[in-house]
Amino acid sequence: QVQLVESGGGSVQAGGSLRLSCAVSGYIYGYYCIGWFRQAPGKEREGFAGIVSDGTKSYADSVKGRFTISQDNAKNTLLQMNSLKPEDTAMYYCAATRGGIYCSGDSLLARVTYNYWGQGTQVTVSS
């Protein structure tokens, strides 16, 4: 069974930075995708960054130029968040696909693409 654990959340002032990690345990092989999602109170969960095992990346316009997704190995995906804004406040989740499911572009940011989810880590940005 694949499990994902997010870490690195916290409270920061506007303009600050945080780095989130998504640790994957269990077996994901070959071609796979990792996505980052966030959900603010009263809002839908939205995808904003995703990465494919071949290095393809996708970002939502709301975070482009501020957030960077990367992988330091097959089991750990990082999200560097700079120039944080109060509207970035949310619970942040990472998600993964089963091996072999193709994803790119918009599908990297879509909830329906993903099979496995973490429990989330809270990010709070104060003005």
HEC secondary structure over 2-50: CEEEEECCEEEECCCCEEEEEEEECCCCCCCEEEEEEECCCCCCEEEEE
Residue 72 pLDDT grade (very low, low, confident, very high; cuts 50, 70, 90): confident
Is residue 80 scored above 80 in pLDDT? yes
Least confidently predicted of 5-14, 46-55, 69-78? 69-78
Q: What is the pLDDT of residue 38?
A: 98
User: In the structure encoding, which two tokens stand for residue 108, read together?
Assistant: 């990297």
pLDDT, mean of residues 65-90: 94
Percent of the chain as helix, strand, coil, to the nearest 5: 10, 50, 45
Residues near 61 by Cβ (< 8 Å), separated by ≥ 6? none
Is 104 a residue whose pLDDT tops 90? no
Contact between 96 and 114 (Cβ < 8 Å) = yes
